[in-house]
């Protein structure tokens, strides 16, 4: 199944300018509308204003870390079904487990390649469209 990423709204929350720019460039070239935020606190109003289709969030950030940000998103009725992909430079089992506990849908280790970025994006988008088909049938 090939997914068309054009016109998708994707938010990238990361305190690293390099990661934000890399993701923004790759996703924009695929036709996505990309919204960026420097930390979880900065992202909250932007999420409410833009209603992204998918959110990438770094774990280690100042003020509001990725776990806290993910938990706030997933505890909001309006955004709880929005896929959240955790970004981390650590590939540890503990980090992945903690991400799952707060509601993260997937986990991507930094630095990531273009292929890895689109594979994880395709995974959450196909899962979400599958969930929508299941809920419309029931």
pLDDT the model gives residue 131: 62
Cβ contacts of 39 within 8 Å, gap of 6 or more: 13, 15, 61, 62, 63, 64
Average pLDDT rounded to a whole number, residues 103-107 = 96
Domain annotation covers residue 3: no
- CATH number of domain containing 96: 3.40.50.2300
The residue behind tokens 């509001």 is 64
Tens-place pLDDT, residues 7-38: 899 999 999 999 999 999 999 999 999 999 99
Is the residue at 2 inside a domain?
A: no
Domain that holds residue 83: 9-131
Quick one: pLDDT band at residue 135, thresholds 50, 70, 90?
very low
């Amino acid at each position: 199944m090939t997914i068309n990423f054009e016109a998708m709204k994707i938010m990238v929350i990361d305190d690293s300018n390099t990661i934000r720019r890399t993701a923004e460039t790759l996703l924009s070239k695929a036709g996505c509308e990309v919204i960026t935020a420097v930390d979880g606190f900065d992202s909250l109003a932007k999420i409410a204003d833009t209603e992204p289709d998918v959110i990438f969030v770094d774990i280690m950030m100042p003020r509001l870390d990725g776990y806290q940000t993910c938990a706030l998103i997933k505890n909001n009725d309006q955004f709880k079904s929005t896929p959240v992909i955790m970004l981390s430079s650590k590939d540890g089992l503990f980090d992945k487990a903690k991400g799952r506990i707060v509601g993260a849908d997937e986990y991507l280790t930094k630095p990531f390649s273009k292929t890895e970025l689109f594979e994880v994006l395709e995974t959450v988008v196909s899962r979400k469209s599958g969930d929508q088909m299941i809920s419309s049938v029931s």
